Amino acid sequence: MTTETSAADLVEVVCAVPGVRGIEAGIASSLRTLDARLRRDRASRVRYGIVIDPRSGTVTAEVGLAPGAPVRTIVEEIQRAVQRALDRSTVGPVGPQPADTASERREERPWQVLVRVQSLSGA
SS (H, E, C) the chain: CCCCCCHHHHHHHHHCCCCEEEECCCHHHHHHHHHHHHHCCCHHHEECCEEEECCCCEEEEEEEECCCCCHHHHHHHHHHHHHHHHHHCCCCCCCCCCCCHHHHHCCCCCCEEEEEEEEECCC
Check residues 45 and 99 and name the one with the higher pLDDT. 45
For residue 50, pLDDT beyond 70? yes
pLDDT tens figures, 69-109? 899 999 999 999 999 999 887 555 554 445 544 444 345 56
What pLDDT is attached to residue 45? 76
Segments making up each domain of the chain, as ranges: 7-95+104-120
CATH code assigned to 7-95+104-120: 3.30.70
Name the band, by pLDDT with cuts 50, 70 and 90, for residue 1. very low
